[in-house]
Amino acid sequence: MQFKGAFTALVTPFSGGQIDEEAYRQLIEWQVQSGINGVVPCGTTGESATMSHEEHKRVISICVDQVKGRVPVLAGAGSNNTAEAVELTQFAKDAGADGALLITPYYNKPTQEGLYQHFKRIASEVSMPFIVYNVPGRTGVNLLPATVARLNKDIKDVIGIKEATGDLNQVSQVLEYCGPDFQVLSGDDFTVLPLLSVGGCGVISVVSNILPDKMSGMCAAWFAGDLPTAQKLHFELAPFSRMMFLETNPIPAKTSLALMGRIKLELRLPLVPMSPANAESLRAFLAGKGLI
């Protein structure tokens, strides 16, 4: 499988309103050195919604260049505008990304047929491995298992899905309909181990921004058949998952990385810094875990 294990949904460091390239490269290097299995630039966690197309493309280019083929790069390239998604996907391919992460169109609320036609159009224009991204909590639309199965059957480039419903019944249905070769990645840090147990192949993780070794270690333990270690890491990671969603992602993740001295704390509106009470809870938690 091409996309297996723990992939970090990378935050995008900013400085003075601009992309902080040096901090971004250092963050990516630390991730790779820590044993992460892959990286995802320009996802939700990367604040792609507030990037210009020029910035979006630059972030993907920096990431591909820094990784230098050591781990797969799954580039965020989705949009609620199909033509725009085609353009971003073509760029991801040209830049050397190993695959494209394509979110279901948000805000438009397309039907299941509309979702199918959206991905079909992208695939007709650009041929590269696609992981579709289903996150109804952000998009207002749920890509149903039957539609996923149809995409998998009809479009060779649709090789997997990032499933962020948090619904293990839906995940199980996707695997039932699509078979064991379909690459199902968890989009929820809370459900990684349960998802692996029904045939998933990994996670696109927020928590691994700060704990790349632990998240990749849990996946590795599962694949090695070491269930006790996988369970131990699952429960060790659980409180971190709660803390990373204390407020809207990626606010806590960026705050954590800033406290750890890896990036400057800079968010783009409409995201704002954590409330003082939550920021103090996070700081105390990280200090208690020896991360700061």
Q: Is 116 a catalytic residue?
A: no
Contacts by residues 146-154 (CB-CB < 8 Å, ≥ 24 positions apart)? 146/112, 146/177, 147/112, 147/115, 147/116, 148/174, 148/177, 148/178, 149/174, 149/177, 149/178, 150/116, 151/116, 151/119, 151/120, 152/177, 152/178, 152/182, 154/120
Contacts for 152 with CB less than 8 Å, ≥ 6 apart: 158, 159, 177, 178, 182
Q: Active site residue: 57, 133, 214, 254, which one?
A: 133
Q: What is the pLDDT of residues 94-151, one digit of tens each?
A: 999 999 999 999 999 999 999 999 999 999 999 999 999 999 999 999 999 999 999 9
Q: Active site residue: 24, 93, 116, 162, which one?
A: 162
Mean pLDDT for 216-227 is: 98
Cis check: omega of the bond before 145, within 30 degrees of 0: no
| Residue-level pLDDT at 2 | 86
Distance separating alpha carbons of residues 249 and 188, to the nearest angstrom: 12
Percent of the chain with pLDDT over 70: 100
Average pLDDT for the chain? 97
Q: Is 106 a catalytic residue?
A: no
